[in-house]
Amino acid sequence: MQVDQVTDGAAVRPRGARRQGDGARKGTTTIVDVARAAGVSTATVSRVLNDHPKVDAGLRSRVLRAVKELGYRPSRVARSLRTRRNRVWALIISDVRTGPFFADVVRGVEDIAYGAGYSIFLCNADENAAKEASYIELAVAENVAGLILTPSSERTDLSPLIHSGIPVVLADRSLPSEYADTVTVDNISGAYQAVSHLLAGGFKRIACITGPLQTTTGERRYVGYCKALAEAGRAVDEALVRVADFREAGGSAAMRDLLQEDRRPDAVFVTNHLMAIGALQEIDQAGLLIPDDVAIVSFDDMSWSTLLRPPLTAVAQPAYDLGVESARLLLSRLEGYSGTPRLVTLSPALVVRASSTPVKRPANRRASPSVPHGNSKEGREP
């Protein structure tokens, strides 16, 4: 859901434009115009107008000069919205296209927020740092009560929120800073369980398709993969590791590349369900049998996992609980908790199904997985 910024007027008057007789109406300048004229963000303008103490004196002077030159006047409508926004939370999701996982996270947040008398507005950062920063600025400018965020990378900047006194909770992914409460799933443990299961099944060349390593989810799931191999006395074979983008196309390209290795993998651990779909498509198109030719385990247990043939082994995440716990931490901040940042780590669970069993099928009965995608070809009968 796209969120439009609330502005205080309808038209733009450039700096130096005449205030009378030029067709422009008095009072139509917006906060965006002021920010542009002063060369600052809308969040900075908002902090100056609300007399926030932590604003650089030089920036304050530039903003006030622009306000005076443009004749900016906040409207009564905008003031009423600001009054009402103390009952609104912002929720910035790294990529809503991940589907059911973040849908359950959002539902968990919304259930707690609604029960406490708050509303939420949802923003999709699309794994884009600039887009994420613009939504953080919007949240500050609109003076939300609090914000829940899944960071796009370890470089996500929380300083606009911290300087504005807006409490923030990180959900699903963490940041190196210690300024925010955080709720995550134990990604290392989940990946370790998945790869240990494949090792116990006798698979030798276990590949890993991981997400971006600048995200804690991608990096920690890869760490879990390495940990399981190390404890089994196996070295990590870099020829069996691919870094993709947590999306279907990335998983497809990574799996296609792995299958072209001189010694292809006999199993693959894929670190989210969208990349797993892409990997399944490539295995299907190569005419390979799961699990006889290539076993597969996915991080994320989706409702369609049991509909595949064979059903997909997956690491189940408590997505709804992740949203609930994130909302509870934010609510406690709004109700007066001012202690040090807290970390809540939820436990995943490996759900074993037939896609990872080492049982061989007869050579004359080759089958490919049924893939939940409209463009995939028909699965062969087992």
Using the 3D structure, point to which of 20, 44, 74 is the last residue of a domain.
Answer: 74
Q: Is 369 inside any structural domain?
A: no
- Cβ–Cβ under 8 Å, residues 239 and 233: no
pLDDT of 17 above 80: no
Task: Compute φ and ψ for 337, nearest 5 degrees.
Answer: -65, 130
Q: What is the pLDDT of residue 376?
A: 38
What residues pair up with 241 in beta bridges, in sequence order? 208
pLDDT of 249 above 60: yes
Q: Are residues 114 and 160 in the same domain?
A: yes
Q: Is 24 inside any structural domain?
A: yes
Q: Which residue has the tokens 């971006």?
A: 212
Average pLDDT over residues 35-50: 83
For the stretch 311-326, pLDDT in tens is 999 999 999 999 999 9
Average pLDDT over residues 15-38: 59
Using alpha carbons, select from 197, 223, 185 the residue that is nearest to residue 314.
197
pLDDT of 364 above 50: no
Q: Is 95 inside any structural domain?
A: yes
Q: Is 60 inside any structural domain?
A: yes
- Distance from the first to the final alpha carbon of the chain: 42
Average pLDDT over residues 186-206: 97
Q: Is 128 inside any structural domain?
A: yes
Q: Is 275 inside any structural domain?
A: yes
Q: Are residues 144 and 233 in the same domain?
A: no
Mean pLDDT of the chain, nearest integer: 84
User: How does residue 24 score in pLDDT terms, banded at 50, 70 and 90?
Assistant: very low
Q: Are residues 176 and 324 in the same domain?
A: yes
Q: Are residues 324 and 180 in the same domain?
A: yes
Q: What is the pLDDT of residue 108?
A: 96
Q: Are residues 195 and 271 in the same domain?
A: yes
CA distance 168 to 224: 28
Provide the CA 19 distance to its chain's centre, in angstroms: 46
Q: Is 57 inside any structural domain?
A: yes
CA distance 239 to 257: 10
pLDDT of 303 above 90: no
pLDDT of 363 above 80: no
CA distance 228 to 234: 9
**Between residues 306 and 364, the one the model is more confident about:** 306
Q: What is the pLDDT of residue 26?
A: 42
CATH of the domain at 195: 3.40.50.2300
Taking the CA atoms of the chain, what radius of gyration do you get in angstroms?
25
The whole model's pTM is what? 0.72
Q: Are residues 211 and 309 in the same domain?
A: yes
Q: Are residues 145 and 164 in the same domain?
A: yes
CA distance 204 to 214: 28
Q: Are residues 232 and 174 in the same domain?
A: no
Detail the DSSP E strand segments found in the chain: 88-93, 119-124, 146-149, 168-171, 181-185, 206-210, 241-243, 267-270, 295-299, 313-316, 343-346, 349-351
Average pLDDT over residues 179-195: 96
Q: What is the pLDDT of residue 70?
A: 87
Q: Are residues 68 and 21 in the same domain?
A: yes
User: How does residue 75 score in pLDDT terms, banded at 50, 70 and 90?
Assistant: low
Using alpha carbons, select from 27, 17, 74 the residue that is nearest to residue 50.
74
Q: Are residues 12 and 89 in the same domain?
A: no
Give the percent of the chain with pLDDT over 90. 62
Work out how many domains the chain is built from and give that number: 3
**Residue-number span of the structural domain to which 9 is assigned:** 1-74
Q: Is 32 inside any structural domain?
A: yes
Q: Are residues 244 and 297 in the same domain?
A: yes
CATH of the domain at 12: 1.10.260.40
Average pLDDT over residues 206-228: 96
Q: Is 286 exposed, middle or buried (0-12, 13-18, 19+ CB in 10 A)?
A: middle
Using the 3D structure, point to which of 74, 93, 115 is the last residue of a domain.
Answer: 74
- Cβ–Cβ under 8 Å, residues 284 and 369: yes
Q: Are residues 167 and 103 in the same domain?
A: yes
Provide the CA 258 distance to its chain's centre, in angstroms: 26
pLDDT of 16 above 60: no
Q: Is 87 exposed, middle or buried (0-12, 13-18, 19+ CB in 10 A)?
A: middle
Q: What is the pLDDT of residue 85?
A: 46
